[in-house]
């Protein structure tokens, strides 16, 4: 895949593109990942015109100005601006984790532009109980008021890879070193004395407002395009198997595929995931 840069009103959005001649697909990575998340999958998706983005605040893309918020309204407008910059009136979406959540919301909000939706390890969004609304807002404000810490400087890339490896929440279900290295190398920038993360430190701040389950259900019912949901076995704690099946059942034209693997299923089992995605998107 080659590097491309898209200029939109927000600023510079970096991406990787494979220049395939098939269906036009925007690929959206997960939280604190970057476009390299799709590199293991890309060789198996040569029949697609695949554009894998660095979402704002991630990878080589622009950070938001002070005072701005990394909420989903800004993300959705960014995706539409990217599609406009590409000259795509309509397109397909392929998302992983946070990117799958954003893709779900965009498909519901703009049915006239999204032809097909393929999501990996998320469908809809993380829900918040209504009675937790004020508490969540207070937690987010309190976190924002804390004094910021300086960026950790890694003496070399290997140290950064080990740090990312140790941060994986569920031992045995995460990425191995070769896969992590793809994300880490794109996610670092050189400074005096070593490397620091490129990602905006504000990305780790708590989200001020989340949707309720009823709102998420309404979004899923509104997704008009054919939708493929690919999930890993075993299921992640934040979206148990019964809940993800319930969500897929709400889709007017949804289909569920479950494959063995972890949260980064598309990096661990790229050929199997690509087989399902190619069949669904109609790639040659």
Domain count for the chain: 1
- Can you tell me the distance from the alpha carbon of 280 to that of 274, in angstroms, rounded to the nearest whole number? 10
Residues 161 and 36: their CA atoms lie apart, in Å, by 14
Please give the pLDDT value at position 168.
73
In a structure prediction context, what are the per-residue pLDDT tens digits for the chain, which is 284 residues long? 999 999 999 999 999 999 888 999 999 999 999 999 999 999 999 999 999 999 999 999 999 998 888 999 999 999 999 999 999 999 999 999 999 999 999 999 999 999 999 999 999 999 999 999 999 999 999 988 787 777 899 999 999 999 998 887 544 457 889 999 999 999 999 999 999 999 999 999 999 999 999 999 999 999 999 999 999 999 999 999 999 999 999 999 999 999 999 999 999 999 999 999 999 998 65
Q: Would you call 86 helix, strand, or coil by DSSP?
A: helix
Here the CATH number for the domain that contains residue 58 is 3.40.50.1820
Question: Distance (Å, rounded) from C-alpha 142 to C-alpha 134?
Answer: 12
Torsion of CA 281, 17, 75, 167, to 10 degrees: 100
Per-residue pLDDT at 172: 46
Residue 177 lies in a domain: no
Q: Which pLDDT belongs to residue 200?
A: 95
Residue 67: predicted pLDDT? 84
Residue 219 lies in a domain: yes
In a domain, 47, yes or no: yes
Q: How many CA atoms lie within 13 A of 126 on its CB side?
A: 14
Query: Does the residue 156 lie in any domain?
Result: no
Question: What is the side-by-side strand order in the sheet with 227-233?
Answer: 2-8, 11-17, 49-53, 24-28, 91-96, 114-120, 227-233, 254-260
Would you say residue 198 lies in a domain? no
Q: Is residue 109 part of a domain?
A: yes
Residue 190 lies in a domain: no
Host domain of residue 126: 2-132+211-281
Q: Model-level pTM?
A: 0.95
Active-site residue set: 97
Give a yes or no: residue 276 inside a domain: yes
CA separation for the pair 281, 260 (Å, rounded): 22
pLDDT at residue 157, as a whole number: 95
């Amino acid at each position: 895949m080659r590097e491309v840069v898209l200029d939109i009103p927000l600023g510079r959005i970096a991406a990787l593109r494979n220049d395939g001649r098939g269906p036009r697909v925007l690929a959206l990575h997960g939280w604190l990942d970057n476009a390299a998340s799709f590199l293991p999958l890309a060789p198996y998706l040569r029949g697609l015109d695949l554009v894998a983005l660095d979402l704002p605040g991630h990878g080589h893309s622009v950070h938001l100005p002070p005072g701005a918020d990394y909420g989903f309204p800004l993300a959705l407008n960014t995706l539409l601006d990217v599609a406009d910059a590409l000259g795509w009136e309509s397109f397909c979406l392929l998302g992983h984790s946070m990117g799958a959540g954003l893709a779900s919301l965009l498909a519901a909000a703009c049915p006239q532009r999204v032809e097909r939706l393929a999501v990996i390890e998320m469908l809809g969004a993380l829900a918040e109980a209504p009675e937790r609304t004020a508490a969540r807002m207070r937690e987010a404000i309190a976190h924002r008021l804390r004094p910021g810490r300086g960026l950790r400087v890694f003496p070399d890339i290997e140290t950064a890879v080990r740090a990312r490896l140790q941060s994986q929440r569920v031992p045995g279900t995460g990425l191995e070193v070769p896969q992590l290295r793809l994300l880490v190398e794109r996610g670092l920038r050189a400074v005096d004395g070593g490397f620091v993360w490129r990602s905006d430190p504000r990305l780790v701040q708590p989200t001020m407002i989340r949707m309720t389950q009823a709102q998420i259900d309404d979004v899923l019912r509104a997704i008009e395009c054919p939708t493929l949901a690919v999930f890993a076995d075993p299921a992640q704690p934040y979206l148990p198997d019964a809940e993800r099946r319930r969500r897929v059942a709400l889709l007017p034209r949804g289909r569920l595929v479950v494959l063995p693997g972890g949260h980064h299923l598309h990096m661990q089992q790229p050929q199997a995931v690509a087989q399902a995605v190619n069949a669904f998107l109609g790639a040659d």
